Structure 1
């Protein structure tokens, strides 16, 4: 039986759209999928042997989709067809409820579905129609779920370099009798953020991590804050700076590490407190989503 293996799974939006994997030190790069339509968010279900990712498609055409492959890149299939979501961004696998969650940017919503793509639902709706979709403060991008606390977290990024981004949360499920556009349980944890993008949760230490694009010194950074109600929040702790349009983030809480991507094509590794930062990959194209997984041993016959 081979040993368990830790891998990073990374999306490249340029170069025809690729999904590749590497070791945590950046070695042994393997291209698993090509021809993705501007991929953005990736999630790995190591136990079931699947990798999921979102395709933004062409935002003006409302043709986003979600695909799935096996861990070796085989059996590629579309689970949410083109147009089933508008411009899907970060993708989150919630293993307790066996659901996929994602932010839909121009769709101005947070959505979820079953792992086979069925039962697509809208949980948050921040606007309707073309006029609203031009308002970038309504754009939902990053998403993460806390099944223990029962909360759904997401970002609304705002215009580039405008400092109008928000980080919000609400219940995982819609309140009884309410719709996605008028639910009354939404809490704003932070506003006035540079340009918040992707989210990750450390459910053991109860910490929320996110990437920001936008202007320095607060932008192009990774920040964190305790997962507390708005009235208990303090200024976020900035952990990493000088990213080149930071996007994806993946955590290794047990190993005390984080991994971050940016549009300039770098993958960074650092401690969860931002220490020991190093580039493990450079010049890899326009990198977007990243996920970390520990692959289970396979029996040798």
Structure 2
């Protein structure tokens, strides 16, 4: 249990069954087995500002993270070695980051109040481009569902949950009038997001655009990152 720490982002490696997380109190990135055991820090303080979003490429065996203080996106091997900066331009408040391992794509949000956006690139940093820039407020959370090829996000400014297929034009509003969403993940037809006003995890059926469940921990507290621990890895190679 991390009493005095502020854990923001969380990601899961379906191959080694390891959970990875970012911490901003004494900035670091750590990992631990899903089955318990001692956490190990893979990226220590020293040229880390405010690591927030984190994503795992289970096929390439890399970890990606956003740093909203240094305004950059970095990548390293899963043990923290071979660390390098992927992007350090055109970022103001980068937060959420997700991988599409099977297709080799990276997606991230920037809640820059003057020009919020969702961007994408290949995992080596090439082919960077803006995917969404209109009608965004504070795009905090992002998730990619490999099985349906849907990229979905929560926006604490527009108070919406939206989805799109990144290879097609057009986006779909799943839910409007949500309170203060922070992070989102997908599993099957459900989206699960954390909400700072409700102090809860809310489940949404994206096929019928309806909230269908919510979970509030006994001890009310601000809920940050959420991710799905898949029993099997999505198949593919890149």
Separation in 1, partners of 2:89, 2:5: 25
Name the structure, 1 or 2, with higher relative contact order (CA <8 Å, separation 6+): 1
- Asked if 1:199 corresponds to 2:153, the answer is no
Q: Closer, same or farther in 2 for the Cα pair 1:78/1:121, shift >3 Å?
A: same
Structure 1 residue runs without a partner (length 5+): 1-32, 58-62, 128-136, 176-184, 297-301
Alignment match, 2:118: 167
**Counterpart of 1:227?**
166
Task: For residues 112-144 of structure 1, give each alpha carbon's deviation from its aligned partner in whole angstroms, at most 9, with x where no partner exists.
Answer: 1111111112111126xxxxxxxxx61111111
Aligned residues: 228
1-structure distance, mates of 2:5, 2:35: 20
Look at both structures and tell me which one has the larger radius of gyration over its CA atoms: 1
Distance 1:242 1:285, change over 3 A: farther
Secondary structure of the residue aligned to 1:82 is coil
TM-fit CA distance, 1:221:
2.2
Q: Which residue is 2:70 aligned to?
A: 107
Residues 59, 102 of structure 2: 8 Å contact kept: no
Alpha-carbon distance in 2 for matches of 1:225, 1:173: 23
* Structure 1 equivalent of residue 108 of structure 2: 154
Cα deviation, 1:205-246, whole Å, max 9, x if unaligned, reads 2211111111xxxx2221101112xxx522x31212333321
Which 10-residue stretch deviates more, 236-245 or 104-113?
A: 236-245
What does residue 66 of structure 1 align with?
A: 29
* Structure-2 change in CA distance of 1:47 and 1:168 (3 Å): closer
Superposed, 1:3-22 pairs within 5 Å as: none
Confirm or deny: 8 A CA contact 1:167 1:191 kept in the other structure. Answer: yes
Which residue of 143, 147, 164 maps to 2:97?
A: 143
Is contact 1:64-1:84 (8 Å) kept?
no
Task: Calculate the aligned-residue CA RMSD, in Å.
Answer: 2.1
Task: Quote the residue 1:122 is aligned against.
Answer: 85
SS of the aligned residue for 1:211 comes to strand
Residues 154-176 of structure 1: CA distance to partner in whole angstroms, max 9, x if unpaired? 111113xx6x310111221134x
Cα distance between partner residues in 2 of 1:103 and 1:83: 15
Equivalent-residue separation in structure 1 for 2:28 and 2:173 (angstroms): 33
Q: Where does structure 2 lack aligned partners over 5 or more consecutive residues?
A: 233-238
* TM-score of the aligned structures, taking structure 1 as reference length: 0.69
- Structure 2 contact 202–211 (Cα < 8 Å) conserved: no
1:9-28 Cα deviation digits (max 9, x unpaired): xxxxxxxxxxxxxxxxxxxx
Residues 168, 36 of structure 1: alpha-carbon distance in 2 compared, 3 angstrom cutoff: farther
How far apart, CA to CA, are the structure 2 residues paired with 1:70 and 1:39? 17
Q: Quick one: distance in 2 between partners of 1:152 and 1:72? A: 28
Q: Residues 163-197 of structure 1: CA distance to partner in whole angstroms, max 9, x if unpaired?
A: x310111221134xxxxxxxxx3211111311111
> Are residues 47 and 169 of structure 1, via their aligned partners in 2, closer, same or farther at CA, if it must alter by over 3 Å?
closer
**Aligned counterpart, 1:29:** none
Distance (Å, rounded) in 1 between the aligned partners of 2:74 and 2:7: 17
Equivalent residue for 1:179?
Answer: none
Match of 1:285 among 221, 227, 235: 221
